[in-house]
Amino acid sequence: MTPTLQAFLIVSTALFSIGLLAALSRRHAIFILIGIEMMLAAANLNFIAFWRFGPHHQPPIGVMIALFSIAIAAAEAAVGLAMVIAVYRHYRTTNVDQLDQLRG
């Protein structure tokens, strides 16, 4: 059985939904970050899938973009974790329910 685009898209949609669910429902900031990373991974999977099943599937292009995206995600995760640590130092908690200083 040959893998098809739909299969990839279903997997990535599931991955994105799981990530979104994690980002929305978990109370711990680290888990939210993990959820966001999962949604990013779903996006990367979409890139690769659309490249692979698209009309111009020369080797480097899609892979290159995915690689760049993973690098940016790593940087973003580093920033996110640093913020989590800063927030924790300030509020002595990482429970986002108690971080409501942005309330209008």
Partner 1 sequence: MNSWIVTYLWFVPAAPFVASLIILTLSNARRRSAAALAIAGQIAALAMSILAFGQTLQTPGFRVVQNFTWFTFGEQALRLGFVFDPLGAAMLLMVALAGLCIFVFSVGYMAEDKNFTRFFAYLSFFSGAMLGLVIANSLLLLFIFWELVGLASYLLIGFWIERPRAAEAAKKAFITTRIGDMGFFLGILWLYGRSGTLLFYDRGNGCLESAGLAMLGASATFIALLIFCGAVGKSGQFPLHVWLPDAMEGPTPVSALIHAATMVAAGVFLVARVYPLFSLGPINGVTPSLTVVVWIGVTTALMAALIAIAQADIKRVLAYSTVSQLGLMMVSLGVGGVAAGIMHLLAHGFFKALLFLGAGSVIHGCHGEQDIRKMGGLRRLMPVTFFTYAVGMMALSGVPFFFSGGWTKEEILHATASWAPSHAPYYLILAGVVLTALYMTRQVIYVFFGNPRATAEHAHESPRAMTMPLIVLALCAIFFSVVLTPAWPWLHGYLTGEPVHFEIARLIQPMLFVSLVLVGGGVAAGIWIYRKAGAPERDRPAEIDPLEYAQPALFRFLANGMWIDELYDRTVIAFSWASARLSDWMDRYFWDGLVRGFGAIAQLFGIFTTSVGERGINAGVDETTVGTRGLGRLISAAHSGQIQTYLGAVAIGMLALLLLYAWLA
99 lies in the binding site for partner 1 (CB under 8 A) = yes
Contact flag: residue 59 with partner 1 (CB under 8 A): no
| Part in contact with partner 1 (CB under 8 A); list of ranges 18-26, 40-48, 56-64, 87-95 | 18-26
Q: What is the 3-state secondary structure (H, E, C) of 41-77?
A: HHHHHHHHHHHHCCCCCCHHHHHHHHHHHHHHHHHHH
Q: Residue 63 or 99: which CB sits closer to partner 1?
A: 99
- Cβ 22 vs Cβ 31: under 8 Å: yes
What are the C-alpha distances in Å from 81 to residues 23, 59, 69, 85? 15, 34, 18, 6
CB-wise, 12 or 62, nearer to partner 1? 12
Contacts 24+ apart (CB under 8 A), 55-58: none
Per-residue contact track with partner 1, 21 to 50, x per CB under 8 A? Answer: --xxx------x------------------
> What is the closest distance, in whole angstroms, from the C-beta atom of residue 99 to partner 1 in the complex?
7
Binding site for partner 1 (CB under 8 A): 20, 23-25, 32, 96-97, 99-104
